Amino acid sequence: MKIFEFHFNNKKDGFLADTFCYEPENIYEKRLGFLFLAGEIKNLLPQNIKFLDNLAELLKERYFKAPYHSSIEAVFKESLKEANKRLDKIVKEGNVSWLGNLSLAIFSLTNQKNRWHLNFAKTGKIKILLIRKEQIMDIGKNLELQDFEPYPLKMFSNIVSGKLIENDIILVLTEQVFSYFAKREARFSKTKQNNKKRGIIYSPSIIEKIAKIQIDGKEDKKIKEILKEKEFSRLSGICLLCILTKTEEKEQKNTLLSFKKEPEKVSFSKIFSSFVKPIAKSKKIKNKITKPLFFFKKIKTIASRALKLRLKDKTKKAPRKKKAAGKRIRIKVKRESFFKKTETKLLEVFKKNLVLFIIFLIILLIGFFLFNREEREKTKAYQNTISTVREEIAAANNYLNSNKEKEAFSLFEQAYEKITPLSQGKNRFQKEALSLKSLLEEKLGQISKSEKIENPELFFSFEKDKIPPSRVIYFKQGLYSYTPLSQIVYKIKPDKTKKEIGTSEKFDKAAAGSNGILFFKKPDYIFLLKDDNFQTGINISPPYSEFQPKALALYGSSLYFLDNEGRIIKYPALSPKSNPLFWLNKNEVAKETVSFAIDGNIWLLEKNKIKKYFKGEKKQEIEINVFPKLKNPSKIFTSQNHKYL
Contact (Cβ atoms closer than 8 angstroms) between residue 621 and residue 444 = no
Of 530, 535, 551, which is closest to residue 480 (Cα–Cα)? 530
3-state DSSP call for residue 627?
coil
Mean pLDDT value across the chain: 78
Kindly tell me if the per-residue pLDDT of 223 is higher than 60.
yes
* pLDDT single digits (tens) 380-422: 888 888 888 888 898 888 888 888 888 888 888 888 888 888 8
Q: What is the DSSP letter of 68?
A: T
Q: Give pLDDT, residue 502.
A: 87
* pLDDT single digits (tens) 413-464: 888 888 888 887 777 778 888 888 889 888 888 888 777 777 888 888 888 7
Q: Which amino acid is at 393?
A: I
3-state DSSP call for residue 367?
helix
Q: Which of 45-54, 240-249, 281-290 has the lowest mean pLDDT?
A: 281-290
* pLDDT single digits (tens) 460-512: 888 876 778 888 998 888 999 999 888 899 999 999 899 999 888 999 999 98
Q: Which of 64-73, 195-204, 323-332, 589-598 has the lowest mean pLDDT?
A: 323-332
Q: Which of 107-111, 290-294, 530-534 has the lowest mean pLDDT?
A: 290-294
* pLDDT single digits (tens) 72-83: 888 999 999 999
Instruction: Count the alpha carbons within 13 Å of 481 in the hemisphere toward its beta carbon.
Output: 15
Q: Give pLDDT, residue 35.
A: 94
Q: Where are the chain's structural domains?
A: 2-189+200-243, 356-448, 471-623
Q: Please give the biggest Cα pair distance in the chain.
A: 147
Kindly tell me if the per-residue pLDDT of 239 is higher than 90.
yes
Give the strand pairing for 199-202 and 160-164: unpaired
User: Is pLDDT larger for residue 170 or for residue 301?
Assistant: 170
Q: What is the DSSP letter of 452?
A: -
User: Is pLDDT larger for residue 540 or for residue 202?
Assistant: 540
Helices (H), 229-352: 268-276, 283-289, 293-315, 338-352
| Four-way CATH pick for 2-189+200-243: 1.20.120.790, 3.40.1260.10, 2.40.10.220, 3.60.40.10 | 3.60.40.10
Q: Is domain 471-623 classified as CATH 1.10.10.10?
A: no
pTM of the model: 0.42
Q: Which of 198-207, 577-586, 611-620, 636-645 has the lowest mean pLDDT?
A: 636-645
Q: Give pLDDT, residue 643.
A: 62
Contact (Cβ atoms closer than 8 angstroms) between residue 624 and residue 634 = no
Q: What is the DSSP letter of 156?
A: T
Report the sign of the C-alpha dihedral through residues 49, 52, 56, 58, in that order: positive
Kindly tell me if the per-residue pLDDT of 283 is higher than 80.
no
pLDDT band of 8, cuts 50, 70, 90: confident
Kindly tell me if the per-residue pLDDT of 84 is higher than 60.
yes
Q: Give pLDDT, residue 120.
A: 92
Residues with Cβ < 8 Å from 341, sequence gap 6 or more? 292, 295
Distance CA 558, CA 600 (A): 12
- CATH says 356-448 is which class? mainly alpha
CA distances from 254 to 27, 248, 251, 257, 612 (A): 16, 18, 9, 10, 73
Instruction: Count the alpha carbons within 13 Å of 52 in the hemisphere toward its beta carbon.
Output: 25
pLDDT band of 21, cuts 50, 70, 90: very high
Contact (Cβ atoms closer than 8 angstroms) between residue 601 and residue 575 = no
